[in-house]
Amino acid sequence: MYNVLIADDEIEVREGLKLKVDWEEIGFRITGEASNGLEARVYWLHGGMICSLRI
């Protein structure tokens, strides 16, 4: 199981991603969320990976 941090400046987008994807079914666990890049960077510095999705 991989850990996932959801990062977006809009809370509606973060909530939508959490609700619309069955993360555990595809092997992921949501471990946190960030509202900006600086918050997400802290996660990255501790071994995570940051990806940007354009939907």
Cβ atoms within 10 Å, residue 48:
16
Per-residue pLDDT of 10-50, as tens digits, reads 999 999 999 999 999 999 999 889 998 888 888 777 666 65
Say what the pLDDT of residue 24 is.
94
pLDDT class for 4, splitting at 50, 70, 90?
confident
Say what the pLDDT of residue 46 is.
66
Are 35 and 11 contacting, i.e. CB atoms less than 8 angstroms apart? yes
The pTM of the full predicted model, rounded to 2 decimals, is 0.73
